């Protein structure tokens, strides 16, 4: 329920406010002197404004959310020196302290506040345990401190939403800034060609990509992928605001919220982030499913529009290209370098997890361990990244199974809160907002499969919104029972989907072996100055990939991949048995040597083996089989979940006691 909250301004506190303004002015004089007179004037005005805002929790809430989602502290603080994040956080603490003096406002903090705080504390405890065995305690303590500050910020926002009773204001405070920033990137792209940064709020990132059709904009962030992860959360919230306006018959307002959806879609497109495209679509699917039957039908009607979006240049073609890159599975110049770098980083994180699976290497230690693992993973890149590019592998590498469990419990706990709110009040006008908060958290989590932990406070705003939409405390026993049944049903549905995928892949596979032989190029001739130059094949990064293309025979089942970083050529083949695989590799190596000499001459290079042939058992199937199986499994899980949910609902209706109306006067 939406209820405004405002604390009174006692006459005795006016003097205190004026005193604080005077102290701020004196501090500005001592620090700045007369160099910046504007700050001397702004200091007392700012203090008075902060006190006034703190007495209106909804104003404080809006300020904190806007400052965070626009990354104003990150953009403006380096230029102005103003600690905006610290100021907004302090403002939130003051607002809560003032509000708690009012018994009515204090009563709005309930068991759900404790529940959400408990989830946060549980996660922080798992990180604290991981710090104990960290390989770099200083780095880990710093990482834990930053995470604790960010999650404390989220709890402050949660309490302000509960005190003010204005969750829709939070949704608007997220959507409107995202819309404005998206429009800035749109204007920057098509009016200024990416040269106008608008004070740092329309950043053109340095990262490029294969198949991009525009500049890649990061909005107020230096990386377009993380900006896309932000916009994923804004899209379902804008849809909820549009639905609310339509249901209240405010057509002009509805037009405005519809415009915010299109603006954010444009912002998502200008990120040119494939993970953002997929995660945004999934977030909207979750919102339609969770918003009720009528909106689910509208979502089905909009499927053709979603399919048409795949035809937009830079969307469908890049997604298809990514699938093709992933199907290669080995180092090759044909793969998008950004995909190759991420896969290598994820392999490094996976190897770290294998070595220390329970408690990890310590929070924040991945960058320092790259030098120890970059040369040991199958994929090698010339410049390894210092981020794992996968949130879950990051927690696995840095805090092990314990950290993964802590993060999962926290996120799933916040996800269950809006689900429970929908169960308790399925016809509530706030249902679409609860569905949007649910979709925002899920979309962010899915997007994090390709991104590491960063800008946690923005996720914290979405978590706070999800927690603030909780039903009454304590929740009804029937609702908790329904939630448990729902979790069991969908867990069973996921199990059915995984089993279906496994059976499909198994049915399309046959037993066989995969053999590989690593080789390199060795100069032919006398050892002299030219020999040293010719031997340096790693510095000329184009050479080995070119040689691999020369030797690769399309008629042969053997594939040749180049690793210019390590200076290796890997011959790989899959066959029914080891003898057949070995013979095919030997034939391919001999044929490759012949093709090489016919192309560059006999006195240039020869192929030399690096180590012994590696033969491993495997299941032979087409490269597309796992992807097709995954799609079939996901579809099976979705259909199974919906059918099981409907069957259980009918059983509850049939088992419910029938109420018989007794006529008056009959005893």
pLDDT in tens, 490-528: 899 999 999 999 999 989 988 899 999 999 988 887 777
pLDDT confidence of residue 44: 58
pLDDT confidence of residue 654: 72
pLDDT confidence of residue 144: 97
What tens digit of pLDDT does each residue of 150-159 get? 999 999 999 9
Contact between residue 420 and residue 467 where contact means Cβ atoms under 8 Å apart: no
Task: Measure the CA dihedral 30/35/37/38, to 10°.
Answer: -110
CA geometry: angle at 180 spanning 176 and 186, to 5°?
140
Contact between residue 574 and residue 620 where contact means Cβ atoms under 8 Å apart: yes
> How buried is residue 555: exposed, middle or buried, by Cβ count under 10 Å (0-12/13-18/19+)?
exposed
Nearest to 636 by CA among 536, 504, 487: 504
What tens digit of pLDDT does each residue of 611-662 get? 889 999 988 888 778 889 999 999 999 899 888 888 887 877 777 665 555 5
Helix residue ranges per DSSP H, 291-390: 293-301, 303-309, 316-328, 337-355, 366-373
- Report the C-alpha gap between 241 and 181 in whole angstroms: 18
Q: Quick count: other Cβ atoms within 10 Å of Cβ 402?
A: 18
- Asked if residue 211 has pLDDT above 90, the reply is no
Structure tokens at 622: 């087409």
- Asked if residue 12 has pLDDT above 70, the reply is no
Query: Who's near 519: CB < 8 A, 6+ residues apart?
Result: 568, 569, 570, 571, 589, 607, 608, 609, 610
Percentage of the chain modeled with pLDDT above 70: 88
- Report the C-alpha gap between 115 and 43 in whole angstroms: 39
Contact between residue 615 and residue 571 where contact means Cβ atoms under 8 Å apart: no
Task: Measure the CA dihedral 548/628/448/292, to 10°.
Answer: 160
- Whose tokens are 């230690």? That residue is 365
For 386-403, what is the mean pLDDT? 95
- Report the C-alpha gap between 30 and 43 in whole angstroms: 12
For 390-413, what is the mean pLDDT? 97
- pLDDT band at residue 222, thresholds of 50, 70 and 90? very high
Nearest to 199 by CA among 188, 210, 209: 188
The per-residue b/e assignment along 142-171, b for 16 or more CB within 10 angstroms, e otherwise, is ebbeebbebbbbbbbbbbbbbbbbbbbbbb
pLDDT confidence of residue 393: 96
Contact between residue 24 and residue 40 where contact means Cβ atoms under 8 Å apart: no
- Asked if residue 22 has pLDDT above 90, the reply is no
What is the helix (H) or strand (E) element at residue 630, kind and residue range? helix 625-655
For 20-34, what is the mean pLDDT? 49
Contact between residue 612 and residue 549 where contact means Cβ atoms under 8 Å apart: no
User: Model-level pTM?
Assistant: 0.88
- Asked if residue 16 has pLDDT above 80, the reply is no
pLDDT confidence of residue 124: 98
- pLDDT band at residue 41, thresholds of 50, 70 and 90? low
- Report the C-alpha gap between 590 and 496 in whole angstroms: 48
Q: What is the largest CA-CA distance in the chain?
A: 118
Reduce the DSSP state of residue 572 to 3 states and report it. Answer: strand
For 563-588, what is the mean pLDDT? 91
Structure tokens at 121: 């504390």
What tens digit of pLDDT does each residue of 341-377 get? 888 999 999 999 999 999 999 999 999 999 899 888 8
All structural domains of the chain with their residue ranges: 12-106, 111-475, 510-620
For residue 619, which phi and psi values (nearest 5 degrees)?
A: -100, 120
pLDDT confidence of residue 525: 74
Structure tokens at 194: 């990416």
Count of residues making up the chain: 667
- pLDDT band at residue 304, thresholds of 50, 70 and 90? confident
Q: Which of 430-434, 558-562, 603-607 has the lowest mean pLDDT?
A: 603-607
Q: Quick count: other Cβ atoms within 10 Å of Cβ 481?
A: 12
What tens digit of pLDDT does each residue of 84-114 get? 899 899 899 989 998 998 999 999 999 999 9
The overall average pLDDT reported for the chain is: 87
- Asked if residue 174 has pLDDT above 60, the reply is yes
What sign does the dihedral 485-486-487-490 (CA atoms) show? positive
**How would DSSP label each residue in 574-599?**
EESSHHHHHHHHHHHHHHHHHHHHHH
Report the CATH fold assignment for 510-620.
Alpha-Beta Plaits (3.30.70)
Structure tokens at 596: 């090489």
pLDDT confidence of residue 624: 79
What sign does the dihedral 48-52-55-56 (CA atoms) show? negative
What sign does the dihedral 432-438-443-446 (CA atoms) show? negative
- Report the C-alpha gap between 109 and 161 in whole angstroms: 10
Contact between residue 613 and residue 515 where contact means Cβ atoms under 8 Å apart: yes
- Report the C-alpha gap between 454 and 463 in whole angstroms: 15
């Amino acid at each position: 329920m939406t209820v405004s909250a405002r604390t009174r301004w006692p006459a005795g506190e006016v003097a205190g406010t004026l005193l604080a303004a005077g102290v701020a002015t004196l501090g500005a004089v001592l620090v700045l002197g007369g160099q910046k007179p504007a700050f001397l004037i702004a200091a007392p005005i700012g203090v008075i404004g902060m006190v006034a805002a703190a007495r209106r929790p909804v104003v404080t809430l809006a300020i904190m959310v806007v400052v965070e989602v626009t990354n104003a502290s990150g953009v403006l603080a380096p230029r102005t020196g103003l600690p905006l994040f610290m100021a907004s956080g302090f403002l939130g603490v003051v607002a809560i302290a003032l509000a708690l003096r009012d018994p009515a406002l204090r009563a709005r903090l309930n068991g759900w506040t404790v529940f959400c705080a408990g989830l946060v504390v549980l996660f922080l405890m798992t990180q604290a345990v991981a710090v104990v065995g960290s390989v770099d305690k200083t780095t880990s303590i710093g990482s834990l401190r930053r995470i604790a500050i960010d999650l404390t910020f989220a709890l402050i926002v949660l309490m302000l939403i509960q005190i003010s009773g204005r969750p829709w204001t939070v949704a608007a405070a997220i959507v409107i800034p995202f819309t404005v920033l998206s429009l800035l990137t749109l204007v920057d792209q098509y009016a200024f060609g990416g040269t106008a940064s608008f004070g740092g709020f329309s950043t053109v990132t340095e990262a490029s990509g294969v198949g991009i059709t525009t500049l890649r904009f990061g909005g107020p962030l230096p990386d377009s992928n993380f900006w896309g992860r932000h916009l994923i959360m804004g899209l379902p919230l804008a849809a909820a605001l549009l639905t609310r306006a339509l249901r209240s018959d405010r057509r002009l307002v509805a037009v405005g919220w519809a415009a915010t959806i299109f603006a954010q879609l444009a912002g998502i497109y200008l990120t040119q982030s494939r993970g953002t495209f997929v995660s945004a679509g999934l977030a909207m699917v979750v919102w339609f499913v969770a918003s009720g039957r009528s909106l689910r039908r509208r979502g089905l009607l909009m499927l053709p529009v979603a399919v048409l979006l795949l035809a937009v240049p830079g969307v469908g073609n890049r997604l298809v290209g990514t699938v093709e890159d992933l199907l290669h599975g080995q180092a090759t110049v044909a793969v998008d370098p950004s995909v190759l770098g991420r896969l290598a980083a994820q392999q490094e994180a996976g190897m770290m997890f294998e070595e220390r699976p329970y408690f990890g290497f310590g929070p924040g230690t991945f960058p320092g361990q790259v030098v120890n693992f970059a040369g040991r993973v199958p994929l090698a890149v010339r410049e390894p990244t210092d981020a794992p590019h996968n949130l879950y592998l990051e927690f696995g590498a840095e805090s092990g199974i314990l950290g993964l469990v802590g993060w999962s419990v926290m996120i799933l706990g916040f996800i269950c809160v809006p689900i429970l709110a929908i169960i308790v009040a399925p016809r509530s006008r706030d249902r679409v907002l609860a569905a949007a908060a649910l979709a925002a958290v899920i979309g962010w989590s899915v997007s994090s499969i390709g991104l590491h932990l960063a800008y946690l406070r923005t996720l914290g705003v979405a978590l706070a919104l999800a927690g603030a939409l909780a039903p009454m405390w304590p929740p009804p026993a029937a609702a908790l029972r329904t939630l448990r049944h729902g979790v069991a049903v969908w867990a069973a549905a996921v199990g059915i989907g995984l089993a279906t995928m496994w059976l499909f892949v198994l049915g399309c596979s046959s037993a066989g072996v995969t053999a590989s032989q690593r080789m390199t190029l060795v100069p032919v001739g006398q050892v002299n100055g030219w020999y040293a130059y010719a031997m340096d094949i790693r510095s000329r990064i184009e050479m080995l990939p070119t040689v691999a293309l020369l030797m690769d025979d399309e008629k042969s089942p053997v594939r040749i991949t180049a690793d210019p970083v390590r200076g290796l050529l890997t011959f790989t083949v899959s066959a029914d048995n080891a003898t057949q695989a070995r013979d095919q590799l030997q034939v391919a190596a001999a044929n490759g040597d012949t093709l090489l000499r016919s192309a560059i001459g006999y006195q240039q290079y020869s192929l030399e083996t690096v180590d012994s042939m590696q033969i491993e058992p495997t299941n032979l199937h087409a490269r597309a089989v796992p992807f097709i199986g995954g799609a079939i499994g996901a579809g099976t899980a979705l259909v199974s979940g919906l059918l099981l949910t409907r069957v259980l609902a009918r059983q509850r209706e049939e088992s419910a006691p029938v109420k018989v109306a007794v006529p008056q006067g009959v005893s």
